[in-house]
Chains A and B, each alone.
Chain A
Amino acid sequence: MAHFTKATSVKDWLNQRLAVEKVEKVMMSEYWIPKNINFLWAMGMVLVITFTLLLVSGIFLLMYYQPNVNLAFDSVNYTIMREVDFGWLWRHVHGVAASVVFLIIYIHMFTGIYYGSYKKGRELIWISGMLLFVAFSAEAFSGYMLPWGQMSYWAGMVITNLFSGGSLHADGLVEWIRGDYVPAQAFLNRFFMLHVLLVPLAIMGLIGLHFGALRIPHVNNQDGEEIDFDVESKKYLAGDKAGSKVMRFANDFMSKDMMVVGIYLIFFFYLVFFHYDFAMDPVNFDPADGLKTPAHIYPEWYFLWSYEILRPFSTNVGLIAFAFAQVIFVLLPFLDRSPNTVPASRRGLFRIWFWAMLIDMIVLTSMGKVPPSGIFSTIGLYAALTFIGLWIALPFITKMEKKV
């Protein structure tokens, strides 16, 4: 057993038992971050803040929400929106944050792709990040079921139907997922459980893994420069703060994180109070009705690109393309065969690949919402084929890339 002495202060008492000073050093003051980075590196902190907003607002909503097909709709739209003091605020914070969190995730992802932050020891950061994307998608989808409006019901119907596997006709699997032949009480209850317990647990675990995976390879920088963190941190600690290539996570980088968070929160709360409609589809303000299909069924904006990869093809081909789109991003570190860890702007063909992928995903997103007819379905088809083609081309164009 360790030897304990009489504590000289509260800090000392804690230090002997929890090594708080050491923890503070490892996590904050001697966690070294390269200086050569821009505000896009603050998206991680922005995501932490947004996730916290989701968690806190969710806890308040959970106190009044009723996971019952007869009560769910009014517990949200009447009890929370009209009866509970500031219930409307928590709901709008929760709804807007659920949408904005995906915008930030996409910015975070494309930052990683642009700067090659998934290469040379950083593969696990990327993979855990993509697993987080999957977990957040599950969280968003299960949460969307809870108000039990028309879009909840019909999105639940359409998405669970995907598991029948087209010609495989795995209808038993669909019934097993729903707990019934159609979305009903069993369905609502299990998605409630997923949304408030199982998926948030998975998300918190994955966030731990994501941070852990960052520890040894360190954060990437704007030029993909390999930094000797031992040498540079010694320089910093010796007093040459300006000459060192690294800085402390706290307070040095944290102060910049907070600056970006401050600006982000202005944008976020503007949306919450004055422009929340985009995150709360009007169709979902009609109560679920299994006998009345809405004229247009579409997912929330952040799922539209993968929905559009499913839509232009026949059932079986569409499902295969959809499955491809779901997993392919995870494989990025292995499909990129180039030895260079530098920004896309210095990587020849990969530079074109990056911007083509970004624009193609925006085209897919746009076409995923409009009715699939005429010119829209043609554009959607070509955009989906382009998406698949770009991924097939990736190993070849990166293999040809010259070492810089």
Chain B
Amino acid sequence: MKNKEPLILVVVVLFSLLTYYLVEPFAHSQMHKHHESEGFEYKDLPALTKKGDATKGQELVMGAAACVGCHSIEKAGVPAAMEPQDAAASYGVNPPDLSNAGAVYSARFLADLIKNPAHALMVEHKFDASKGQMHPMVPFYGAGGDIDQEVADIVAYLQSIAPKAEDLTPAMAFETACGRCHAVHYENWTQIGEKPKFKYKKDELAFDIKVLEYQKSLTKYMGKLPPDLSIYIRSRGEHFIKTFVENPQQYLKGTAMPRVGVNAESADKVLEYLEDSGDLKRHERESVGKNVMIYIVIFAIFALLWKKQVWKELH
């Protein structure tokens, strides 16, 4: 009788693969919208045509443009005027410290943001100036000269004080881009900063109260408390997070989540931060995986040889 085992194996494998294809790739393609990343280029925003001068930019930031009225720049010796929970009570969310902004955000995005925040952030459905709904960040209307040149100068200044790409850590990228709205409790991150270890319960409670006050203002500002991102890398996956951050409206029309405007390198750093939080052991998984595969293949070879030896006498 001829050996039917190869045919049986093919049938079993084909039906298993067909079922897998139907319940995984096919079903997910039917359930979820798919968007390709545009590489964080923000092509809908105008490109910077002028070359900026960082010294002039500094004068604007500290003077006529009045940025430091709301923003701290720790790196340039401008401390925060208020505690985060008090700033959130005034603005809805704590205005970001600008020390790392030049490294984290795309220049094109920054330039548009300075002139027209609601447009760059894609929240014009929520902040419509014609209806008197002003975005809490006041647009820069110019300091008397060529506004495009002035904006280019401000961007140049922010880039000049920002750390170099290789010095920007995943945590710095995350804190600047996401951390004022999203907690990550697996990394001990709260919207007002990393939660320290406290010796006394009283001090810990005082810190928690500040977080709660901040979250109360934030909830009012956003409509709901933005989710904790601890294991978003597992619940949403890398592709979704990337394309969602790039343009939240394409997935969730009308969402209060602004376009964040990170550049491609910072987006990767943010993702690395989220992987460290939600998939910390991924490197160990890969290396252990390789060794286990080698071990199991050797086991299978020995099992095969044993079978051959035993069955020699049976035929």
Residues of B within 8 A of A282 (CB): 234-237
**Is the Cβ of B313 less than 8 Å from the Cβ of A370?**
no
How far is it, in angstroms, between the C-alpha of A252 and the C-alpha of B286 when the chains are bound?
37
Given contacts A38-B4, A258-B307, contact A362 B15 (CB under 8 A): yes
Q: Tell yes or no: A39 within 8 A of B by CB.
A: yes
Q: Shortest CB–CB separation between residue B219 and chain A, in angstroms?
A: 14
Chain B residues whose C-beta falls within 8 Å of the C-beta of A195 in the assembled complex: none
Q: How far is the CB of B69 from the nearest CB of chain A, in Å?
A: 39
Interface residues on A, range: 35 or more
Given A262-B299, A265-B296, A285-B234, also A251-B310 (CB < 8 A): yes
Residues on B with C-beta less than 8 A from A295 are: 31
Q: What residue of chain B has the Cβ atom nearest to residue A363's Cβ?
A: B22
A77 to B9, CA, bound (A): 37
B224 to chain A: closest residue by CB: A292
CA of A283 to CA of B232, assembled, Å: 10
Nearest chain B CB to A101's CB is how many angstroms away?
14
Per the bound structure, the CA–CA distance linking A189 and B45 in Å amounts to 54
| Beta-carbon contact of A266 and B296 below 8 Å | yes
Q: Give the interface SS of chain A, mostly helix, strand, loop or mixed.
A: helix
Inter-subunit contact A283/B235 (CB<8 Å): yes
Q: Does B141 contact A (CB under 8 A)?
A: no
| Contact between B15 and A269, CB atoms less than 8 A apart | no
User: Number of B interface residues, CB 8 Å?
Assistant: 50
Contacts of A274 in B (CB 8 A): 289
Among the listed stretches A81-89, A153-161, A331-339, which one makes contact with chain B, having 4 or more residues with CB under 8 Å of it?
Answer: A81-89
CB closest residue in chain A, given B240: A282
> Are B296 and A369 in touch, CB under 8 angstroms?
no
Which residue of chain B lies nearest to A366 when distances are taken between CB atoms in the complex? Answer: B22
Q: Which of B19-39 contact A (CB under 8 A)?
A: 19-20, 22-24, 26-27, 30-31
Are the C-beta atoms of A252 and B310 separated by less than 8 Å?
yes
Interface string of A43-84 (1 = CB under 8 A from B): 000000000000000000000000000000000011001100
Q: Does A286 contact B (CB under 8 A)?
A: yes
Indicate whether A252 sits within 8 Å of B289 (C-beta atoms), given known contacts A262-B304, A263-B300, A285-B235: no
The CA-CA distance from A19 to B234 in the complex, in Å, is: 54
Contact B311 A252 (CB under 8 A): yes
Which residues of A are found within 8 Å of B309, using beta-carbon distances? 255
**A273 touches which one: B15, B20, B289, B303 (CB < 8 A)?**
B289
Interface-central residue, B186, B234, B236, by most chain A CB under 10 Å: B234
- B314 in contact with A366 (CB, 8 Å): no
- Residue-wise, chain A 266-295 has the 8 Å CB interface mask toward B (1 for contact) of 100110111000101011011000000001
Q: Does A317 contact B (CB under 8 A)?
A: no
A273 to B302, CA, bound (A): 23
Identify A362's interface contact among B18, B27, B234, CB under 8 A.
Answer: B18
Taking the complex as formed, is A23 at the interface, i.e. its CB lies under 8 A from any CB of chain B?
Answer: no
Q: Complex: how many Å from CA A311 to CA B183? A: 39
Q: Which A residue sits closest to B22, measured CB to CB?
A: A366
Task: Output the nearest chain A residue to B306 by Cβ-Cβ distance.
Answer: A255
Contact A258 B303 (CB under 8 A): yes
7 of the cross-chain contacts (CB-CB < 8 Å) are A38-B5, A88-B281, A251-B310, A255-B303, A256-B307, A285-B278, A362-B19
11 additional contacts, CB 8 Å, given A283-B235, A370-B30? A39-B9, A82-B186, A82-B280, A88-B284, A88-B285, A241-B313, A247-B314, A251-B310, A255-B309, A282-B235, A362-B15
The 7 closest A-B CB pairs, nearest first, are A273-B289, A262-B300, A285-B235, A366-B22, A262-B303, A369-B27, A255-B310
